Structure formats: structure tokens, C-alpha cells
Amino acid sequence: MSNAPLYWLGGTLIVLVSLLVYVGLNENMEWEKFKTTHQCKVAATKDSEIFNTVDTSGKVAIGFTSSQTAWLCDDNVTYWK
């Protein structure tokens, strides 16, 4: 049996992860540029939270929200990041 399918899978995963990292870094650089250009200031913060939830079938699950910062910019819009 050939290992070729495993090499393709591994290569595909590496490309996808690399693409996700690139997009994430690019988005962050764009935000930093926007934040500076538009004189954004911290307006509020939200801490991360862990919570319990129940679906319609009665199954219990645990969820979470990540911490966020509200930025008020000179365009009078609040951006949550």
C-alpha cells in the first residue's frame, strides 16, 4: 500500500494551517494600522466566561466566550476585538 495519500493529507494540512496563520496575522496588522489611523481608545473590556448550557434534548454542555476589548474610534464607532 502506498503512503502517497498520507503525504497529500499532511501537505494539505500544512498549507491550510499556513494560510490560516497568514490570514490571522494580516488581519491583526490591518487592525493595528486602523487603530492608529483612527485614534482608537479602549472604551470597555469583557472578561472571558465559562458557562453551562442545555440543548433541547437535555444534553448539558460547557461553553465559553473569550475576553474582548471595545475600541471607540474617531469615526464614533465602537469596535469589539
pLDDT higher than 90, residue 19: no
pLDDT of res. 13: 84
pLDDT higher than 90, residue 21: no
Average pLDDT of the residues in 50-78: 92
Q: How far apart are CA 30 and CA 40, in angstroms?
A: 13
Average pLDDT of the residues in 17-38: 87
Geometric angle at alpha carbon 67, from 30 and 63, rounded to 5°: 120
